[in-house]
Structure 1
């Protein structure tokens, strides 16, 4: 079997170009942010912007706590947590999502043009597809795993769940089922984030013994949350207040930097740790998507067909493994960061 060295060289150039594009994008973002923070006028303006945004984010939560009868709860750590980076987090998320949407729109347009012209067009050509498959996931990873973004996004998810508790209590009989579903989605987002709190906090190394302690503690907190949620139908408003109070305690603990001590030990007695299957689920989605991609290549499908097959496999695998409601929960979480 002969090797097409020209094709190999083309692939090498594509990967080198992708690496440079990603590096330049991330370095440019970091440099602009560093430069703005070095100028006194812009630094002071950004600080005030962050404070105003943090207060605005917390205002709805404060109203919800007052309506729930929890106005006297200690909330200072949760309230002041975002004063250093709230506005920057919102702006960063909006920029990243805009770039991702722009790239997605370009791919969709390329697919439509390819189908219409009966041949591969622009964005559906192999180098463009490879670039999109690398650059877009990097942008998504950056938007989710950037320390400041991830930490504040977790706190926003807790605030959203507290507001959902109040929405259920205030809902009419006809609208209560919708409010309850929103509460379920909000709490599910908090639970998923809790199981990754050791990564979100960024305060433990991969081999640190504190990391295992944080993961074990988070699993117990997740179980405690599930137990509080399960009481809602039986105890009504009392359970909603208890759940909201529990969320406030978790938010305060995290905001104070206690990722391994979100709740006191006495609150977790006789609680069985919740299983964490996130890694298995993610691995299953990746394996199914990669398998579909390999099958398309081995069967000699055209580039556009390979992209459609791999994308469809990833979508269907995600729906089957994570459940259709997870997409709704993810969308609500995203909207909470973009537009809260």
Structure 2
């Protein structure tokens, strides 16, 4: 690779940062404007649920879509943080922001521990190891005294933000969740478009070549695993505040399956795809609830059709069609 006279080798490896593309700025602006008016158009709790799962899917996409690591156990961080945040708010009397922070930190530490062991394997073995650890977390939540067993932690107080702003009302809580979700997605965007994110993509696309270039691949894998677990925990801790509940459903293996479905259906490896996938799945669950157990089957059929028709997901398909028109 030739290096220009006024350009160093470091500039070639880590290109100088450029601002956010105009299209992405416009999308973020439209998305924020839509989310601001959304609670006045639909039931606020439903909108908050969509945002929590959108953040969860975006966190998982960081690991799978950009890191190339398939985890079957991300419910461990989502649900684990939910339990810690609920316990901190109900038993320890933490304010909402501190309880969410406690849940996020616990998920990050758990991700660091599990990730340091899981990254020793690759492919399906890595996925199975993450599932095994997630099942350990599930059975711990089932047996531990502070988790409430099958009843979970109920009647979690919403409290007062910073001890001043009451969050008992759905509208006030909605904007608290909006700040967390939108801020989390912006952070994930920044991570993906940083030099660290570029190295992740290189490892995903060709790990042997990344190793030959001198990158310590396992360190990057552990970092992205821990970051993904932390953001998943942020989503789970926020959900506990919204529903005032932490239950076994949050740590069940089916929750890991749902986030995989959201990511693949919306568009793996895209910034906005997981958000679209989460909105589709949560909306489907809400409006098809009358079908009972058939909801899972309907979701499975839609997923199979989606993969067969457009493997790049909804957002990937729209992006390809737009490029053709241009």
Q: Normalising TM by the smaller chain, what interval?
A: under 0.3
Which structure would you say has the larger Rg?
Answer: 1
Q: TM-score, normalised by structure 2?
A: 0.28
Structure with more relative contact order (C-alpha pairs < 8 Å, separation 6 or more) = 2
Q: TM-score, normalised by structure 1?
A: 0.27
